Amino acid sequence: MELQRKFDLSWYYWLVSTVPAIVNVSDGFPPDELELPTVSITSLDITGTPFELGGYELDKQFWRVDVFAKNIAQRDELAYIIYKAMECGIPVYNYDEGFPPSVSPTRIGTLIVSKRVLKPIHVFQDLVKKLYWRSAITLFTYYETIS
């Protein structure tokens, strides 16, 4: 399995363990039938940036976490929980060994979080069939392996 896919899965399982059990977690933007509350993680751009002499590049990945909620209080609470928990980074596991809950894969590194932005998304009631409350957290990460 590619390392970037392990990042995706690590985000998913991290969100599952971070938000309350009543929250649906989606790997990627949620489907058309949205059950509230839902949190999704979407991998966006990956950019190589010069890191050391000799042409080595450090990949920085851009992510978006979307929060879909029933009301403004639920939206804000979920967004704040996730935003605050990101400060410690996202642990990355070796999912070649298997998947929770039947397997506890080995931790291989951490996605270090930077440039977090939490922004409420205003949904206009006259433009959507169902009014829901939404926020987006955008951020960059880079991978740090466990030595």
Give dist(CA 83, CA 37) in Å, integer.
Answer: 16
| Omega before 37 within 30 of 0, i.e. cis | yes
User: pLDDT over 90 for what percent of the chain?
Assistant: 75
What is residue 128's three-state secondary structure?
Answer: coil
User: Which pLDDT score is estimated for 49?
Assistant: 79
The model's pLDDT over 38-73, given as tens digits with 9 standing for 90+, comes to 999 999 998 887 766 666 778 899 999 999 999 999
Q: Which residues of the chain have pLDDT under 50?
A: none
Structural domains of the chain sorted by starting position, each given as residue range(s) with its CATH number in brackets: 3-145 (3.30.2000.30)
Q: Side by side, which strands form the sheet with 57-69?
A: 24-27, 38-50, 57-69, 133-145, 107-121, 90-93
User: Which pLDDT score is estimated for 129?
Assistant: 66
